[in-house]
Amino acid sequence: MSEKLQFTEDVIGDLKASGLYNDIKVIGSAQGAWIEIEGSKVLNMCSNNYLGLANDPRLRQAAKDAIDTFGVGPAAVRSIAGTTVLHESLDKQVARFKRVEAALTLQSGFMANVAVIPALVGKGDTIVSDELNHASIIDGSRLSRAEIKPYKHADLASLEEVLRDVEGGRILVITDGVFSMDGDIAPLPQIVDIAKRYGAMTMVDDAHGEGVLGDNGRGIVDHFHLHGQVDVEVGTFSKAIGTIGGFAAGSASLISYLKQKARPFLFSSALTPADVASTAKAIDILTASGDLVTRLWDNAGYFKQGMRQLGFNIGISQTPITPVMLGDVQLATQFSRLLFQKGIFATKIGFPTVPEGKARIRVMISATHSREDLDFALAQFALVGRDLAVIS
Ligand SMILES: Cc1ncc(COP(=O)(O)O)c(C=O)c1O
Query: Closest ligand 1 atom to the C-alpha of 238?
Result: 10
In a domain, 5, yes or no: no
**Cβ atoms 353, 365 nearer than 8 A:** no
Q: What residue ranges line ligand 1, CB within 6 angstroms?
A: 108-110, 134, 136, 176, 180, 205, 207-208, 236, 238, 246
Instruction: Say whether both 18 and 77 belong to one domain.
Output: no
Which atom of ligand 1 sits closest to the CA of residue 111? Answer: 11
Phi-psi region of 9 (alpha: psi -120 to 50; beta: other; left: phi over 0): alpha
Residue 20 inside a domain? The answer is: yes
Count: domains in the chain: 2
Bond into 352 cis (ω within 30) = yes
**Is 208 considered catalytic here?**
yes
Active-site residue, from 98, 239, 281, 369:
239
Domain extent for 185:
57-288
Among 260, 288, 316, identify where a domain stops: 288
How many Å lie between the centroid of ligand 1 and the Cα of residue 266? Answer: 21
CATH number at residue 33: 3.90.1150.10
For a pocket test of ligand 1, which of 49, 110, 349 has the largest count of ligand atoms closer than 8 A to its C-beta?
110
Could you tell me the distance, in angstroms and rounded to a whole number, from the CA of residue 136 to the centre of ligand 1? 7
Rounded to the nearest angstrom, the distance between the alpha carbon of 224 and the centre of ligand 1 is: 21
What is the number of residues in the chain?
A: 392
Q: State the distance from the centre of ligand 1 to the C-alpha of 238, rounded, in angstroms.
A: 8
Name the residue of 48, 114, 134 to mutate for ligand 1: max ligand atoms within 8 A of Cβ.
134
Q: Can you give the C-alpha Rg of the chain in angstroms?
A: 21
| pLDDT averaged over 10-residue windows placed end to end, the chain, 392 residues | 93 91 92 96 97 98 98 92 94 98 98 98 98 97 98 98 96 98 97 98 98 98 98 98 98 98 97 98 98 98 98 97 96 96 96 92 98 98 98 95
- Domain identity same for 103 and 28: no
User: CB neighbours of 233 closer than 8 A, spacing ≥ 6?
Assistant: 98, 100, 203, 204, 206, 219, 221, 248, 249, 250
Domain contains 296: yes
Å from CA of 78 to ligand 1 middle = 22
Substitution candidate for ligand 1 out of 180, 185, 362 with most atoms within 8 A of CB = 180
- Residue 51 included in any domain: no
Please indicate whether residue 87 is annotated as part of the active site.
Answer: no
Supply angle C-alpha 114, 186, 202, rounded to 5.
50
- Look at residue 76 in the predicted model and tell me its pLDDT: 86
Angle, to 10 degrees, between the axis of helix 371-387 and the axis of helix 329-341? 130
Residue 89 placed within a domain: yes
81 in the same domain as 171: yes
110 CA closest ligand 1 atom index:
11
The residue contributing the CA closest to ligand 1 atom 15 is 207
> Which amino acid, residue 349?
I
Q: Which of 288, 308, 332 lies at the terminal end of a domain, its last residue?
A: 288
Q: Given the DSSP bridges, would you call strands 147-151 and 171-176 parallel, antiparallel or unpaired?
A: unpaired
Closest CA to 189 of 165, 241, 154: 154
Centroid of ligand 1 to alpha carbon of 207 (angstroms): 6
Among the three residues 228, 258, 288, which one is the final residue of a domain in this structure? 288
Atom of ligand 1 nearest to the CA of 177: 1
pLDDT of residue 81: 87
Tell whether 225 and 103 lie within a shared domain.
yes
Instruction: Tell me if residue 180 is catalytic.
Output: yes
Same domain for 282 and 295:
no
- Do 89 and 29 fall within a single domain? no
Res 163: pLDDT? 98
Rounded Cα distance between 232 and 209, Å, is: 15
Residue 6 lies in a domain: no
Per DSSP, what are the bridge partners of residue 302?
A: none
Nearest to 212 by CA among 90, 62, 53, 89: 53
Nearest in space to 247 (alpha carbons), one of 283, 274, 223? 283
Entry pTM:
0.96
User: Does residue 169 form part of some domain?
Assistant: yes
Count other Cβ atoms within 10 Å, centred on residue 161. 13
For helices 135-144 and 109-120, angle between their N-to-C axes, nearest 10 degrees? 30
CATH of the domain at 139: 3.40.640.10
Ligand 1 atom at minimal distance to the Cα of residue 236: 10
The catalytically annotated residue of 136, 180, 278, 366 is 180
Q: Does residue 40 sit in the same domain as residue 111?
A: no
Tell me: do 229 and 281 sit in the same domain. Answer: yes
Residue 1 resides in a domain: no
Q: Which of 136, 176, 178, 347 to mutate to test the pocket of ligand 1 (most atoms within 8 A of CB)?
A: 136
Residue 113: per-residue pLDDT: 98
Task: Tell me the three-class secondary structure of the chain, residue by residue.
Answer: CCHHHHHHHHHHHHHHHCCCCCCCCCECCCCCCEEEECCEEEEECCCCCCCCHHHCHHHHHHHHHHHHHHCCCCCCCHHHHCCCHHHHHHHHHHHHHHCCCEEEEECCHHHHHHHHHHHHCCCCCEEEEECCCCHHHHHHHHHHCCEEEEECCCCHHHHHHHHHCCCCCCEEEEEECECCCCCCECCHHHHHHHHHHCCCEEEEECCCCCCCCCHHHCCHHHHCCCCCCCCEEEEECCCCCCCCCEEEEECHHHHHHHHHHCHHHHHCCCCCHHHHHHHHHHHHHHHHCCHHHHHHHHHHHHHHHHHHHHCCCCCCCCCCEEEEEEECHHHHHHHHHHHHHCCEECCEECCCCCCCCCEEEEEECCCCCCHHHHHHHHHHHHHHHHHCCCCC
198 and 341 co-located in one domain: no
